[in-house]
Amino acid sequence: MTWSRDALAGKIPVTLVTGFLGSGKTTLISKLLLHPDMRRVAVVINEMGEIGIDHDLVTVSSENITLLANGCICCSVRTDLQETLRDLFAQRRVGEVFDFDRVIVETTGLADPAPLVQTLASDTLLAAHYRLDGLITLVDGLHGEGQIDQQTEAVKQIAIADKILVTKTDLTSADHLETLCERIRQLNSQSPIEFIQQGEVDPKRLIDLGLSSSRASLKTLQFLGEALTVDAVSADVTGSGRYLGQRSATHNSAVKTLSLRFTEPFEWLSFSSALELLTTLRGPDLLRLKGIINVDGDPVVIQGVQHIIDTPVKMDRWPSEDKDSRLVFIVRNMELDVIRNLFQAVGAIKSASTSTT
């Protein structure tokens, strides 16, 4: 195969860290900033004052950017994240900011993380230089359950996360944690859950959650949630394999994970029309979407949050023998059959050039 450029390789990965008020974000970020393995990482925070950086550790600083002794670049948001990320790249290019190879963003507690994810996809300048590497949600080990019960933001943050960190696990009982994890699983059946204490986490646990290359590999499967993990092996509700199934919560049946599989290849036009129809009509309830689509035989990875779908990535080859189209949706108030029927119906309408009738 002739070499062609990897569209994702050169993009700076961005990790968004979110979590409800009091979930421990500030503690986590403060510890992260001082971790020895944070060289060439830029951390975007809301306010310098909030974090309280020990000034002995500062080597260089300007209005809103501080270079810490461990090589970490700490940057506070001025107007909004969009402008901050643009400025960071521009300043990096002229040498005003030392080179960084990834960005970790602390989002505010009440934030709906979806708009931030969408910004990275829809702002063409940001999309040219950055890619979303992961959305990490912190869940308060003590109060998480109550937040899930009462706060739609908390539910959403968990549902669309690529990884969930349960905090303050040293302050609560194992039973309590087990119940909490079950509640989390009901909202997000695929993303790994980890426990942290005192905000201590190795930066390596926060990164590499996203699609980092258009060259297919095991990592592609991991991104799609298909690599062999305990969850993947467990039986699905309908008992017919991991796909063609849905998992829903007993407490919060509004949010579900729906998995679909199609054996017939799609034409791009019909697939994208069906997806567009779905996002137009039910965008706000399509919390997260990830999948790999067989487009006339070629593998195309798609992902999106609500009504914004990222630029599809054509992979250089299939990551495994499985060449069916597979989609995983995290939705609110929608049924599996509705979505499946839509894609099957639209998929059956071939375009004029291939239609025989």
Partner 1 sequence: MLNAPQSASRADQTLSLNMKLLAHHELAGFGGLGEGMGMQLTSDGRRILWLAHESAPKNFSGVDVTDPQNPKLIVQTELPHMKLRSNSLDVVGNIMVVAYQTTTVGIKPAGIDIFDVSQPETPRLLSHFDCSGPYSRGVHAVWFVDGRYVHMSSGASDFQPRNPLDDQFYRIIDIIDPEKPVEVGRWWYPGTREGDEAPPPPRLPAQFDMGFRTHNTNVFPEQPNRAFIGYIDGGAVVLDISDMKNIKVVSQWNHSPPFNGFTHTVLPLFDRGLWIVSDECVQDNGADWPKLVWVVDSRNEANPVPIGTFPAPPYDAFAKRGGRFGAHNLHENLPGPTSFRSDTIIVGSFFNAGVRVYDTSNPYQVQEIAYFVPGAPKLSPAGAIQLNDVYVDDRRIVYTVDRFTGGLYILEMNI
Q: For binding to partner 1 (CB under 8 A), which residues are involved? A: 3, 5-6, 9-10, 60-63, 92-97, 99, 128
In the complex, least distance from residue 276 CB atom to partner 1, rounded to whole angstroms:
24
In the complex, least distance from residue 52 CB atom to partner 1, rounded to whole angstroms:
18
Residue 60 or 235: the one with the smaller Cβ distance to partner 1 is: 60
In the complex, least distance from residue 223 CB atom to partner 1, rounded to whole angstroms:
19
Residue 93 or 350: the one with the smaller Cβ distance to partner 1 is: 93
Report, in angstroms and rounded to the nearest whole number, the Rg of the chain calculated over CA atoms.
21
In the complex, least distance from residue 48 CB atom to partner 1, rounded to whole angstroms:
12
CA 248, CA 265: separation in Å to the nearest integer? 28
Q: What's the DSSP call for residue 219?
A: H
Structure tokens at 172: 């609560």
Structure tokens at 312: 């599809």
Nearest to 225 by CA among 246, 243, 248: 243
Q: What's the DSSP call for residue 108?
A: P
In the complex, least distance from residue 200 CB atom to partner 1, rounded to whole angstroms:
31
CA 71, CA 37: separation in Å to the nearest integer? 9
CA 113, CA 153: separation in Å to the nearest integer? 9
Asked if residues 313 and 211 have their Cβ atoms less than 8 Å apart, the reply is: yes
CA 217, CA 224: separation in Å to the nearest integer? 11
Residue 62 or 179: the one with the smaller Cβ distance to partner 1 is: 62
Residue 40 or 317: the one with the smaller Cβ distance to partner 1 is: 40
In the chain the first and final C-alpha atoms are separated, in Å, by: 36
CA 43, CA 281: separation in Å to the nearest integer? 37
Residue 99 or 200: the one with the smaller Cβ distance to partner 1 is: 99
Residue 95 or 239: the one with the smaller Cβ distance to partner 1 is: 95
Residue 70 or 151: the one with the smaller Cβ distance to partner 1 is: 70
113 CB contacts (<8 Å, ≥6 apart)?
A: 16, 18, 107, 135, 137, 156, 157, 160
In the complex, least distance from residue 309 CB atom to partner 1, rounded to whole angstroms:
21
Bridge partners of 297, per DSSP, are none
